[in-house]
Structure 1
Amino acid sequence: MLRSCLSKVISPCQSAFIPGHCITDNILIAYEINHSLKLKSCGQERSMSVKLDMSKAFDKEAERCGSISGFRIGSRGPTLSHLFFADDTLLFGKASLQEAQHIRTILDLYKAASGQEVNFDKSAVVFSKNTDPTVRRSITQLLNIMEVPTHDKYLGLPTVVGRSTSEVFSSVKERIWQKIHGWNEQRLSKAGKEIMIKAIVQAIPTYSMSCFKYPDSLLSDIQSMISNFWWGDGAKRKPIHWVSWDRMCLSTNDGGTGFRQLKAFNLALLAKQAWHIATQPSTFLHRVFKAKYFPTKDFFQDESTSRPSFTWRGLCAVRRYLLSGSKWRVGNGLHIKIWKDRWIPRPSIFKIVSPSDALPEDSTVDCLIDKDSGK
C-alpha cells in the first residue's frame, strides 16, 4: 500500500525508496550537471554546485517557494535544485549572494529543527567559469565553505573525468592489488583463490563499471593482476600462465573457470544502464539525458553532440549492442522507421533488405497501417 504511493510523495531528486530508481541515477545526473557546469563559460546567468556533508535530507521548502532557482539542463530540460541520497547532498543554483543567503537560512533552520549541523569542513562549492571572482569570494565567505575546481566524489564515484581516465580509476586498481597482496602471503589453494577472485576481486569494480566505461589499459592491468594471483604460488617471481585468460573466462561446462571477461562485463553493465535510460521516459534520469543529448530524437538515433561527457560516450559505445539484440514491437508504428529500424517479425535481420522509392526514406510504419482495421 505504502509502496504504491511513495513516488507521489517523494521528490524525483531522491533516488532511494522509489520504484525504478537506483543510486546510479543520482551519480549519472550529478556527473552530467557538473559536466555542463564546467563547460559553461559565457552568458549572464552564473551557476554553482554546492556539496554538503550532512546526515539527513535538505528541506524541500526551498524548492517549493522558489528561493533556490536550480540548474537547467538544456533549453527544454528539467530544472534541478538538489540531489539526495542518504548523507550525500548536492545543491544547484545561481551563483548570487541572494541565493547563497537562502541556502544559509535553510541550513540554519534545518539545524534548529533537527539539532544536526552541516560539516562545513567537508563541504565545497564549484562555480561555472563565467562567475566573477568577487562573487565567488563573497559566496564562500557567506556559506563558510571552500571553493574547489571540481567536486572530488559523489556517492563514492568521480564527478568529473579528465583526460587521464586511468588515473581517475586508479583507486580501484589499488584496492584490488592490496587484496591480492594480502592473500599471496596466505598460500591459498586453487579453490580458495577461485572463491576470492569471484566473490571479492571481481566485485570491487562493479559499482563504478555500471556508470563508466573503463579504459582498456586499466582492464588489462586488473586482469593481469588476477591472472598472476591465480597462477602464482605466493613467491615474488613471475608465474607461468599455462592457459590464456580468454580460456579461463569460459564457463566451467566449456572447460574454463567462469572468471569474468572484464571488458565484456563492463559493456554489459553499461548496456543495462543504457536500456534503463532508453525505456523509462518518465524518470528524471531519462529527462536529463534527453534534454542534453537527444532532444528531438530517441536514445537509439544518432544526434551530433559537441563535447559530450565521459558517461555519455560510454553509453553510446553500447548502443550498437542493444540495437543488434533487439527489435521494435509494432504498436501504432508512429516512431518506427520503415527502412531503417528493425521491426519485421523475421529472425536474422528484422529489417527490409531492399528499400523502395515508393515512400520517403524517413517514413514510419504507421503509414502502412490501415486506420480502420488496424492491420
Structure 2
Amino acid sequence: MGFSEQIQLYFDYPHPQNDHPTQYVSVSIALCNVVAKVVGKVLATRLKSVLPSVISESHSVFVPQRLIMDNVLLSFEAHHFLKNQRLGKKGFMSIKLDMLKAYDRIEWSFLRAMLIKLDFSVLWVKIIMDYVTLESYSVLVNGDQTGYIKPSRGIRQGDPLSPYLFIICTEGLIALIRDACLKGTIKGIKLGAMLEHLSHLLFANDTLLLGEATVEEALSFKAILSQYEEWSGQKVSIQKSSVVFSPNVQKTNRDAITNILGMPEVATHGKYLGLPTIIGGSKKAIFTSPVERVKLRIVDWKQRILSKAGKEVWRLLIEPTSVLAKVFKAKYFSDEDYWTASMGPKSSFTWRSLISVRNIMKQAIRWKTGDGKTIRIWEDNWLNHTWLRKHITPTLEDFPNATVSDLIDKDIGTWNISKVRSGFYNVDSKEILKISLNNLNQADTLLWGPHQKGCFSVKTAYEFIHTLSQETSSGPTTSNSQRFNYKKFWKIKIQGKIKHFLWRALYDNLATSNKLRQRKVEVQQTFILCGIQEETVVHVLHLCRFTNRLLKITHIIGREISFQDLFELGW
C-alpha cells in the first residue's frame, strides 16, 4: 500500500490563533486534504481497536473503554495525599510537565522504533510510516499556493491518526519511568497500603510525575526526561512546567529540587486536564471557569452520561480492576463495598462527590441474574417485574445477608422452588421463579435500570430523578413546575443545541444581565435591544416589544408569567 504525495499535501494558512500573535507559530493553521483525512480515519479506527492491549493503564484517553476523568480523579487523590502530608520526615512532590510543540517535534525514527517495540507487524509499520513521511506543506499567501515544504519530523495536528501515534510514542517515557521504579531510583507515592506506588499519569501531552521530594529522585526524573527528549525529539517547556511539594518538605530541599529540574515551585499546578488539581475553599470560584466553558461547548444532548460522579461510580461498580477503582477501594472501603462505605473525616472532594450520588445510584441500578453470588436478596433491585420494584417480603431475620445464589439449587441449575415459596410472599415468589437461570456460569451483571439497554442516558437519568422528586433543589421554581411535561419536552424533534437552549431557559439559566449581575459581573442592566427593561429570560424571549413582533400569532403576549409557563402554554 502506498500514498500519493498529492493526497498527503497540506496547506499552511496564516490565520491568527490569538488576539496578539507575535510569532508565526501563533498564526499558522494546517488545512488537511480531505482524502488524507479519510485515510487517516480508516487507519485510526483499525489502530485504536488494539490499543488497550499495548498502551499502559496510566493513559486514560484515546484508548477504548478508558475515561479521561479517571486520570482527573487520580490527580485529585494524589494532590489530596500531598496536601495532607504535614508531618514526618518523608515529603513528596508532583511535577506537571508541558511539552513544547508536542506533535511537531516527534522524530519519525523514534515513532518507527516504538511501533516495532510494541510488536506491530512489518507491513503495518510500513503503512503507518508511509502515511506519516509522505506529507508535504504549501503555504497559502492571500489564497495563492506558494512553494512546497517537506518536513523531516512531526505528526499533524488535526489528523485523526495523530493522537494514537502520539500516545504510542509516550510509551517510551512510561517505559523509562517504569524501569527507574524497578531499580528503586523513583519511588512514587503510595495512596493505599495494598496499592502499588503511583509515579505518573498521562493524557496526551499533559504529564504528571509523582515521587518523594528528594534530590536523588529529582535527579532521576531529570535524567529520564533528558533521555526521552534525546530519543523522541520532544522538549519540556520549562516555563509552563511546575513543581508542587507537600507541606512537610523543608525549604532547602525545595530549592535544591527546583534548581535541578529548572522548574518553578507553585502552591498548586492550577489545572490538569482542564480541571483544578487541588480543591478546597470556594468550590464555586474553582469551578466557575470549567462550567462556563462546558455551557458554551455543549450543543447536543446525545452523549450517554448521567454526570461525572455517576459515570465514575458506574466504573467503580462494573470495572473493579481499573486503577481508579483500586485506589478508591484501598483508600476508602478496603473491607467494605461502595454501598456501605463511610465518608471519613479526611475524605477527598472526589470521594465525597461519589458518595453524594450513592442514594440515586442505589435506586437506579438493577441486576441481571447470573450465578447470583453478588446480588443481595434484601438490598438490591433484581426482580424482573419492574426495575424500580424490589421484593415486598420483609427481610428474614435469620438470613439478613443472603444472596440470590442461596435460592438456587446448584446441583440441577434451577431455582430451589420450596425455598423460594417458603421464604417469600406469593407475589414475590412468582416473579423470582420467572427469572431465567441460563447464565449460572457467569457473574451477575449490573445494569442502569432507567435505560432500555442498561446504559447511561441523559434523558432516562433526568426522567428518573424527576420521578423521584418532581422538583430538585436546582430545578425550576415556577408556578407550573409540577405540571410541566418534561417527557414531552425531550421528544421535541429539533436540533440538540436548540433543545439545550430551551432547557436552560426553562431553568432560568441563561447568561442574561440579570443573572450576571447576581454573580457580581459588571454589565449593562437593561436589555440591549430596547434599552428600557432589565434583561431577564422572560423579557428577552417574551415581554420585550421586539420579541412581541415575533409572537403576534400567539394569544399570550404581554402576560407576566415565567418562561416555563410560557413554554407550556405555547406548546
Work out whether residues 59 and 106 of structure 1, in 8 Å CA contact, stay in contact via their aligned partners in 2: no
Deviation at 1:118, TM superposition (A): 1.1
CA distance in 2, matches of 1:78, 1:93: 13
Question: 1:17 matched to which residue of 2?
Answer: 62
Deviation at 1:82, TM superposition (A): 0.9
Question: 1:333 matched to which residue of 2?
Answer: 372
Question: 2:188 matched to which residue of 1?
Answer: 70
Deviation at 1:43, TM superposition (A): 4.1
CA distance in 2, matches of 1:345, 1:374: 19
Match for residue 46 of structure 1 among 91, 98, 116: 91
Identity %: 39
Aligned residue runs from structure 1 range 276-355, under 5 A: 276-347=315-386, 348-355=388-395
Match for residue 356 of structure 1 among 387, 396, 400: 396
Work out whether residues 34 and 160 of structure 1, in 8 Å CA contact, stay in contact via their aligned partners in 2: yes
Deviation at 1:38, TM superposition (A): 1.0
Secondary structure of the residue aligned to 1:331 is coil
Deviation at 1:7, TM superposition (A): 2.0
Match for residue 202 of structure 1 among 291, 295, 303: 295
Higher deviation after alignment, 313-322 or 82-91: 313-322
**TM-score normalised over the length of structure 1:** 0.70
Is 1:372 aligned to residue 389 of structure 2? no
Match for residue 244 of structure 2 among 126, 134, 150: 126
Work out whether residues 332 and 341 of structure 2, in 8 Å CA contact, stay in contact via their aligned partners in 1: no
Match for residue 148 of structure 1 among 266, 288, 299: 266
- Which amino acid is 1:287 matched to? K
Aligned residue runs from structure 1 range 255-294, under 5 A: 268-294=307-333
- Which amino acid is 1:13 matched to? S
- Which amino acid is 1:271 matched to? G
Higher deviation after alignment, 115-124 or 160-169: 115-124
Deviation at 1:269, TM superposition (A): 4.4
Is 1:168 aligned to residue 302 of structure 2? no
CA distance in 2, matches of 1:44, 1:364: 48
Question: 1:30 matched to which residue of 2?
Answer: 75
Deviation at 1:51, TM superposition (A): 0.5
CA distance in 2, matches of 1:41, 1:366: 48
CA distance in 2, matches of 1:334, 1:44: 46
CA distance in 2, matches of 1:76, 1:97: 27
CA distance in 1, matches of 2:174, 2:224: 7
Deviation at 1:266, TM superposition (A): 9.5
CA distance in 2, matches of 1:319, 1:29: 20
Show structure 2 runs of 5+ residues with no match: 1-45, 103-165, 415-571
CA distance in 2, matches of 1:271, 1:59: 30
Deviation at 1:310, TM superposition (A): 1.7
> Once superposed, what is the RMSD of the aligned Cα atoms?
2.7
**CA deviation string 1:194-224 (max 9, x = no partner):** xxxxxxx7344x6xxxxxxxxxxxxxxxxxx
CA distance in 1, matches of 2:263, 2:326: 31
Question: 2:51 matched to which residue of 1?
Answer: 6
Secondary structure of the residue aligned to 2:93 is strand
Deviation at 1:165, TM superposition (A): 0.8
**TM-score normalised over the length of structure 2:** 0.47
CA distance in 2, matches of 1:89, 1:120: 13
Work out whether residues 243 and 265 of structure 2, in 8 Å CA contact, stay in contact via their aligned partners in 1: yes
Work out whether residues 258 and 265 of structure 2, in 8 Å CA contact, stay in contact via their aligned partners in 1: yes
Deviation at 1:104, TM superposition (A): 0.7
Question: 2:253 matched to which residue of 1?
Answer: 135
Secondary structure of the residue aligned to 2:202 is strand
CA distance in 1, matches of 2:377, 2:352: 28
Work out whether residues 95 and 241 of structure 2, in 8 Å CA contact, stay in contact via their aligned partners in 1: yes
Secondary structure of the residue aligned to 2:379 is coil
Change (3 A) 1:269 1:28: closer
- Which amino acid is 1:313 matched to? R
Work out whether residues 59 and 110 of structure 1, in 8 Å CA contact, stay in contact via their aligned partners in 2: no
Secondary structure of the residue aligned to 1:49 is strand
**CA deviation string 1:257-293 (max 9, x = no partner):** x999xxxx99644323321232112322222222222
- Which amino acid is 2:398 matched to? A
Is 1:85 aligned to residue 203 of structure 2? yes
Question: 2:225 matched to which residue of 1?
Answer: 107
CA distance in 1, matches of 2:225, 2:202: 15
Higher deviation after alignment, 45-54 or 276-285: 276-285
**CA deviation string 1:277-325 (max 9, x = no partner):** 3211232222222222222233333334232222222222222222212
Work out whether residues 338 and 352 of structure 1, in 8 Å CA contact, stay in contact via their aligned partners in 2: no
Work out whether residues 13 and 83 of structure 1, in 8 Å CA contact, stay in contact via their aligned partners in 2: yes
Secondary structure of the residue aligned to 1:60 is helix
Change (3 A) 1:366 1:27: same
Change (3 A) 1:282 1:18: farther
CA distance in 1, matches of 2:233, 2:343: 50
Secondary structure of the residue aligned to 1:93 is strand
CA distance in 1, matches of 2:345, 2:391: 31
Deviation at 1:89, TM superposition (A): 0.7
- Which amino acid is 1:202 matched to? K
**Structure showing greater relative contact order (alpha-carbon pairs closer than 8 Å, 6 or more residues apart):** 1
Work out whether residues 375 and 403 of structure 2, in 8 Å CA contact, stay in contact via their aligned partners in 1: yes
**CA deviation string 1:129-165 (max 9, x = no partner):** 2223322221111111121122100011111111201
CA distance in 2, matches of 1:78, 1:19: 24
Change (3 A) 1:133 1:45: same
CA distance in 2, matches of 1:165, 1:126: 21
CA distance in 1, matches of 2:213, 2:98: 20
Q: Which entry has the higher C-alpha Rg, 1 or 2?
A: 2
Change (3 A) 1:267 1:17: closer
Secondary structure of the residue aligned to 1:32 is helix
**CA deviation string 1:237-276 (max 9, x = no partner):** xxxxxxxxxxxxxxxxxxxxx999xxxx996443233212
Question: 2:114 matched to which residue of 1?
Answer: none
CA distance in 2, matches of 1:156, 1:268: 17
Aligned length: 293
- Which amino acid is 1:82 matched to? H
